[in-house]
Structure 1
């Protein structure tokens, strides 16, 4: 690995910026829903969720709390799990391309495929958080991280 890249990856600021960018689609959506709760409620009603206002509140909480846990690296496994579960549910409940035909099915298939990638990214975030914490604990106890 080039030394400039290694130095970048080893900075204190790179991991939180990476986690902020990783979760952007969630906290950005959560803040937008919070800013225009009427539109968020209308979106939930459009997708057939009832009661739409309650579902909108739950979505906002999951998106913002899950993102915060990952960004702050506090129970990142839980935040990543919340976001991955939410994303998986959107595939099943909103992007159910297998129940569609034509261009709509193709569009939703591509969105579902991207969502699978996001789920994988949340898995990697949880894994890296665990490994980084294990390394910090090992270092604090005088052992070298694995």
Structure 2
């Protein structure tokens, strides 16, 4: 591997940037749930999660809190595991592609596959954190 690429990959700043980017989907969603709390309560209740205020609160705490732990490289295995379980659970709740048809089924299946890919990234960040 060339010197400049190795330097980038070994830099602390690049590691932080990678963890921020990996968790972007979680902490941005958590902040949206915080700043537009009532709208997100309604979304939770629309998925049958009641009381919506409790599910919204727990979700935003998990999304923001676990993202921060990963970004700060603290208890990464726990934070990544919690986000992975959360991400798996969102598939049958919010993206049940097997119950849909046509374009809607395709869209939800694509989102479900993206979720599985994010879980792979969470597993990798746990491995890298442990090795360092």
Is TM > 0.5 for Structure 1 vs Structure 2? Answer: yes
In structure 1, the residue matched to 2:35 is 35
Task: Name structure 1 gaps, 5 residues minimum.
Answer: 133-146
Deviations 1:1-44 (A, max 9, x none): 12111111122211111101110000011011101101110111
Query: Residue 64 of structure 1: CA displacement?
Result: 0.7
By percentage of residues, which structure has more helix?
A: 2
Report the number of matched residues: 132
What TM-score do you get using the length of structure 1 for normalisation?
A: 0.87
Runs of 4 or more, structure 1, over 3 Å off, are: none
Deviations 1:70-125 (A, max 9, x none): 11111000110111111100012111111111211111000001000001100001
Of residues 44-53 and 74-83 in structure 1, the stretch that sits farther from structure 2 once superposed is 44-53
Cα distance between partner residues in 2 of 1:9 and 1:54: 40
Query: Residue 60 of structure 1: CA displacement?
Result: 0.3
Cα distance between partner residues in 1 of 2:10 and 2:105: 43
What TM-score do you get using the length of structure 2 for normalisation?
A: 0.96
In structure 2, the residue matched to 1:144 is none
Q: Larger relative CO (CA 8 A, sep 6+): 1 or 2? A: 2
CA RMSD of aligned residues (A): 0.9
Question: Residue 13 of structure 1: SS of its match in structure 2?
Answer: helix
In structure 1, the residue matched to 2:104 is 104
Cα distance between partner residues in 2 of 1:111 and 1:98: 13
